[in-house]
Amino acid sequence: MNPYIEILRPGNALMGAISIILVALIDKTLSIPVILAMITVFFETAAGNVINDYFDYNIDLINKPERPIPSGRISLKAGRNYGYFLFLAGTICGFLISYLTDNWIPFMIVLFADVVLYLYAYKLKSAPLIGNLAVGFMTGFGFVFGGFCINNPNIIMTSIFLGFFAFVMTTAREIIKDIEDIEGDKADGAKTLPIMIGTKIPALMATILIIVDSALCPLLYFYHIFGIIYLIIIAIAVILFLYCAFIIIKSQDEKTAAKSSKYLKIGMLIAFVAFALGSF
């Protein structure tokens, strides 16, 4: 794969854009602002990934040496400038959305995302728990951004609910990823939660977050936001979520943390499918 595509982590960036698609499906609408919103979230997520790899160079030399920057396929300077270009592209798209809809909240959200994503990569990532919360917050914000781009009060409320789900589950996954990356983070002098207080309490925190989110999932059916198809599919995701919680609370070694993180991501993808199909 071309390193300039690989560094975007396109699957991750597309997953971010899916949040807009899901909100649009719930509203059963498609417009130029919605399409621009998908592109905006893709650019912003990709920019965050690239600038994160730029600042994580020393950590990735240990944890992810095959990535484009530590492997030497992209220079540090080129990676930084590439990240800046993607931030600019996302910001321009955000401006166009607000200009077309005469609603400047989406543009302000994009500007806020620029600041948080950059600060996360530069400083927040190594701060205990704050970095985890920042990633979760930005993931959930994608849904809220979609709601404001559509600018329908009912859709905005639904998007906030979906955003909260994504925020909680992503925060849990980020805590588990810190357990997985503990050796590389130690070598770089990072002060993540598992480094500061050990792995047991972070694993318990992640488990509680997963259980809370899993318990909230059926509410979207009982409040008539989604239909019975959603309930059937989300049950599969919930089983996977609870399995991840079980294995990480039982053992916090690197292999188990990697497995739990991977299955949580799969579970979230299944949940997104449930959101999409449940809206019909």
Element (H or E) spanning 187, and its range?
A: helix 182-187
Whether residue 27 contacts residue 155, with contact meaning beta carbons closer than 8 Å, is answered with yes
For 220-233, the three-class secondary structure string (H helix, E strand, C coil) is: HHHCCCCCHHHHHH
* CA 258 to each of CA 36, 170, 181, 261: distance values in angstroms, whole numbers, following the listed order: 34, 14, 9, 5
Q: How far apart are CA 183 and CA 227, in angstroms?
A: 45
Q: How far apart are CA 191 and CA 181, in angstroms?
A: 12
> With the CA atoms of 27, 31, 36 and 37 taken in that order, what torsion angle do they form, in degrees rounded to the nearest 10?
-10
pTM exceeds 0.75, yes or no: yes
The pLDDT, as a whole number, for residue 221 is: 87
* DSSP code for 66: T
Which domains can be identified in the chain, with CATH numbers? 3-278 (1.10.600)
The pLDDT, as a whole number, for residue 18 is: 83
To the nearest 5 percent, what fractions of the chain are helix, strand and coil? Answer: 80, 0, 20
The pLDDT, as a whole number, for residue 188 is: 67
Q: Is residue 209 packed enough to be buried (19+ CB in 10 Å), middle (13-18) or exposed (0-12)?
A: buried
pLDDT tens by residue, the chain, 280 residues: 788 988 998 887 887 788 898 888 888 888 899 999 999 999 999 999 999 999 988 877 887 888 899 888 999 999 999 999 999 999 999 999 999 999 999 999 999 999 999 998 888 777 778 888 888 888 888 899 999 998 888 888 888 888 999 999 999 999 999 998 887 777 767 778 898 898 999 999 999 999 999 999 888 888 777 889 999 999 999 999 999 999 999 999 889 999 999 999 999 989 988 988 887 7
